[in-house]
Structure 1
Amino acid sequence: MTPGEEWIRVELARLQSRRYAPVAIAEFLAVSQRRAGDVRRERPHLGRRARTWEAAGAAAWVGLACAGREPYRRRLVSGLAWWALTSLMLEWHLGMVESEDGEPRNLGPADALTLARAWLAPVIADDLAPAALLAAGVSDALDGPLARAGVPTRAGRDLEALADAAVHIAALRCAWRQERMSRAVVGVEIVRVATGSAYAACAYFVQLRAPNATVMRAGRVAAPVRVAGLIAAGAGRRRTANALLAAGSLASLVVLASDLSRVMNRSGPAGV
């Protein structure tokens, strides 16, 4: 493990030993924030780039709101609050902006695409605009190859998963609220997202290690089909949307179940 991985494992073990009490969680967040501050001081170029991107995201939302564009004006407060939370998550992950063998890196193009996708989550939650969904899907398709073309980082891995989940949950919530799709189909997809999220949470907070990469990639096999379904829903093609999302969700659930079973059988619960 890298020093950063050792640090987080020790802190998570301490949190676990205190049974995730509210006070323990607050102390864990405070310690994480202090470490992020240490990283910014040790690697000022990384901190400057992060702060520049955070300011750019906030300025873009305010600028569009001042120009009268929707939903940016209507969701000014919630949009900025979401971006503040996204920025906080970026700050907490600065210590993980390193290669798998612990070599420090800077934030790169793949990270910019991941953050841009997270920035779109409130827009998609407001309405299933096909343009926003397509932009999110394209950024998702591109950030992986961009990361692999350089040196993938542990922060990029975790931030990508968080951005994907945020955008997908926002889209499903909007589809459910506006009845753009069958609620049964949306429910199946919610089960898929919840299963993957529960596995990741269990790996981090119970097993005290990163989730198995193969399991975490299980949902990507049918991601284009699911995105196409959401775009169809945004375009008002309810029947097509139901068929695409149902097919993508079920295919991903089958792959996820198979990968989970394989990992459990090979390593046992403690080895996941």
Structure 2
Amino acid sequence: MARQAQAWCLGGAAAWLAACTAARGREELVFRPATGLAWWLAVWQMLDWHLGMAEGGDGRPRPRLGSADAITLARFWLVPAARATARSPAGFPLLIAAGGISDWLDGAVARRDGRTRLGRDLDTTADLAFLTAVAFAGRSAGRIPEPAFRLLVVRHAVGVGISLTAVFGRERRPAFRARPWGGALRFGGLVTCACGAEGAGTWLLGAGSVMPPRSTAPDLSPA
């Protein structure tokens, strides 16, 4: 599994360098090799440290990383691309849409193949990293209005606070996940804002941000 993770991460680094090369000469795309490679190295290290969590609800370790893990890692790969594409009229909305599709797809594949503790935590972390990167990049580029930005920040702050309280207060992993429709509304709101419809996008983002989480299977809730 460690070799598989290494191969995936080397492939991601090569893909980032290829994206940097393809973006040369296009003023609206600002891909920086060092930034993306540094981020990808951090993701690689995080994955390597947590490979022992690749086990199902029955506690049995999985021999390999799954397709859902690969899709989630692709969303991690998109994180530095948020800033790189923030001033691109078409690139930024497409990037957000790609992140949203990957969020739906990795969940569907994980349900089909069986969830793991590693996949659960990677998915949550990827969502937080990607949406935060999009929010800050979009706000800096004037693509996401201040109300929408604040809604997303508050949503994330509340989610992190609940998770920390559950982990340190009850000594167990919180058994809840964001509802799929909530995620779809948040991603849709960000895409709508990035396309210039700031009012409608903010309303969609607000609707997705107030949607409460749902409980998850108890066999994956312990730390």
TM range (shorter): 0.7 to 0.9
Match of 2:57 in 1: 100
Change (3 A) 1:63 1:144: same
Match of 2:84 in 1: 126
Q: 2:186 aligns with which of 226, 230, 238?
A: 226
Q: Take 1:145 and 1:163, find their aligned partners in 2: how far apart are those partners?
A: 16
Q: TM-score, normalised by structure 1?
A: 0.70
Q: Which runs of 5+ in 1 are unaligned?
A: 1-45, 261-270
Q: TM-score, normalised by structure 2?
A: 0.85
Written as runs of structure 1 = structure 2, the 5 A alignment for 1:169-188 is 169-188=132-151
Q: Take 2:43 and 2:168, find their aligned partners in 1: how far apart are those partners?
A: 21
Q: Does 1:196 align with 2:135?
A: no
Of stretches 226-235 and 110-119 in structure 1, the one that deviates more from structure 2 is: 226-235
Which residue type is aligned with residue 10 of structure 2? A
Aligned-pair CA distance for 1:236: 2.0
Q: Does 1:83 align with 2:46?
A: no
Aligned-pair CA distance for 1:176: 2.0
Q: Take 1:178 and 1:123, find their aligned partners in 2: how far apart are those partners?
A: 14
Aligned-pair CA distance for 1:202: 2.9
Check conservation: 1:176, 1:183, Cα contact below 8 A: yes
Match of 1:47 in 2: 2
Q: How many residues align?
A: 209
1:171-214 Cα offsets, whole Å, 9 max, x none, are 1112222232331232122111111112223333443321122x
Which residue type is aligned with residue 176 of structure 1? R
Q: 2:113 aligns with which of 146, 150, 153?
A: 150
Q: Does 1:217 align with 2:178?
A: yes
1:144-179 Cα offsets, whole Å, 9 max, x none, are 110111121100000000000001101111222223
Q: 2:19 aligns with which of 61, 64, 85?
A: 64
Of stretches 239-248 and 90-99 in structure 1, the one that deviates more from structure 2 is: 239-248
Match of 1:235 in 2: 195
1:97-130 Cα offsets, whole Å, 9 max, x none, are 0111211112011000000001001111333411
Change (3 A) 1:72 1:61: farther
1:1-57 Cα offsets, whole Å, 9 max, x none, are xxxxxxxxxxxxxxxxxxxxxxxxxxxxxxxxxxxxxxxxxxxxx111111101100
Greater relative CO (CA pairs within 8 A, separation 6+): 2
> What secondary structure is seen at the aligned counterpart in 2 of 1:120?
helix
* Higher Cα Rg, which structure: 1
Match of 1:244 in 2: 204
Q: Take 1:176 and 1:60, find their aligned partners in 2: how far apart are those partners?
A: 26
Check conservation: 1:97, 1:155, Cα contact below 8 A: yes
Check conservation: 1:50, 1:90, Cα contact below 8 A: yes
Aligned-pair CA distance for 1:64: 2.2
Task: Point out the structure with the larger helix share.
Answer: 1
Q: Take 1:122 and 1:72, find their aligned partners in 2: how far apart are those partners?
A: 12
Check conservation: 1:72, 1:79, Cα contact below 8 A: no
Which residue type is aligned with residue 114 of structure 1? T
Q: Does 1:160 align with 2:150?
A: no
1:215-272 Cα offsets, whole Å, 9 max, x none, are x334x3321111111111222222222222122223x2xx25xx79xxxxxxxxxx9x
Match of 1:25 in 2: none
Check conservation: 1:66, 1:73, Cα contact below 8 A: no
Which residue type is aligned with residue 107 of structure 1? L
Which residue type is aligned with residue 248 of structure 1? G
Check conservation: 2:135, 2:144, Cα contact below 8 A: no
Q: Which runs of 5+ in 2 are unaligned?
A: 87-91, 216-221
